Amino acid sequence: MIEKIPFGKTGHQSTRVIFGAAALGGMKQEKADQVLDILLEYGINHLDTAASYGESELRIGPWMREHRKRFFLATKTGDRTYQGARDSLHRSLERLRVEQLDLIQMHNLVAENEWQTALGPQGALEALVEAREQGLVRFIGVTGHGTYVAAMHLRSLDRFAFDSVLFPYNFTMMGLARYAVDAEALLKTCAERGVATQTIKSAARRRWQDGDMRKFSWYEPLRDRDALRRAVHFVLSRPGLFLNTSSDTTILRDLLDAAGEVATLPARADLEADVAHYAMEPLFIPGVTDTI
């Protein structure tokens, strides 16, 4: 059974594994239904999607008729202006076929100019706060990619009391000294303020290499069950962290099986051996590959 813990100060007990619904973006409804049924099998009770995840919201929508009460439902908007974010949120409500979202997140808010716009006058944040006052959403979060995301999330938390953050966290990313310092500072602040901490890219091996047969995701996941289990346990052995699943559903069951075990921090030697054996690399490197 996958552990449930408080999702920050929201009052919801979320499974420590959150289903990353980017995986549904290119699927037909029948296939998406089969994937979503796996969540019921494993007791997953938290879904995370986004307006920009292809047809993901449309695939979840029909399922919500029967299962809405089972799930904490989160989506994201990448729009930075008041009107853009307002329109995006209302469109997501329609696509998801719900009257209220549990969590709306500002998607990948890292670039300085976008941050200034979104959190400034007539910015996206004003639309999301208004939606919360209207009862259309319950909570507001912020997400991001790249090596500057943890530092930017700290700035965002100083500007506004976000309920959740989302950022990359795995062994190779935490091996980047500057990123690790920023991530630790973010985790400390979130723990002090009761902000839910969601992590992504736990199962990442590396970016696709030239000649690779690319499938499903923009990065290559770990497929070996033992290495994947160590990667999952690296995240879940740390109290309070949530793990968002990969957009490659071919590893979903293996990931959920690993998450159902008691997670202990793998030996550093074993993690380093995985890095060497599978040629693992950080997905984001300052000044080299800091975007998707």
Q: Which helix (H) or strand (E) segment is 61 a member of?
A: helix 56-67
Which positions ≥6 away from 62 have C-beta within 8 Å?
A: 29, 33, 97
Asked whether residue 111 is assigned to any structural domain, the reply reads yes
Asked whether residue 10 is assigned to any structural domain, the reply reads yes
Which among 49, 61, 62, 51 is positioned nearest to 22, based on CA atoms? 49
- Report how far apart, in Å, the C-alpha atoms of 215 and of each of 23, 218, 243 are: 11, 8, 21
Number of separate domains in the chain: 1
Q: What is the mean pLDDT of residues 44-59?
A: 96
Asked whether residue 292 is assigned to any structural domain, the reply reads no
Asked whether residue 287 is assigned to any structural domain, the reply reads no
Question: 71: domain CATH number?
Answer: 3.20.20.100
Instruction: Report the C-alpha gap between 218 and 198 in whole angstroms.
Output: 20
Name the residue range of residue 100's domain.
4-277
Q: Tell me: pLDDT of 212 over 80.
A: no
Q: What is the mean pLDDT of residues 66-86?
A: 97
Which among 241, 176, 9, 179 is positioned nearest to 103, based on CA atoms? 9
Asked whether residue 163 is assigned to any structural domain, the reply reads yes
pTM recorded for the entire structure: 0.96
242-281 pLDDT, tens digit per residue, is: 999 999 999 999 999 999 999 999 999 999 999 999 999 9
16-30 pLDDT, tens digit per residue, is: 999 999 989 999 999
Asked whether residue 283 is assigned to any structural domain, the reply reads no
- Report how far apart, in Å, the C-alpha atoms of 109 and of each of 114, 151, 160, 169 are: 7, 11, 13, 17
Asked whether residue 264 is assigned to any structural domain, the reply reads yes
Instruction: Report the C-alpha gap between 150 and 155 in whole angstroms.
Output: 9
Question: pLDDT tier at 210 (50, 70, 90 boundaries)?
Answer: confident
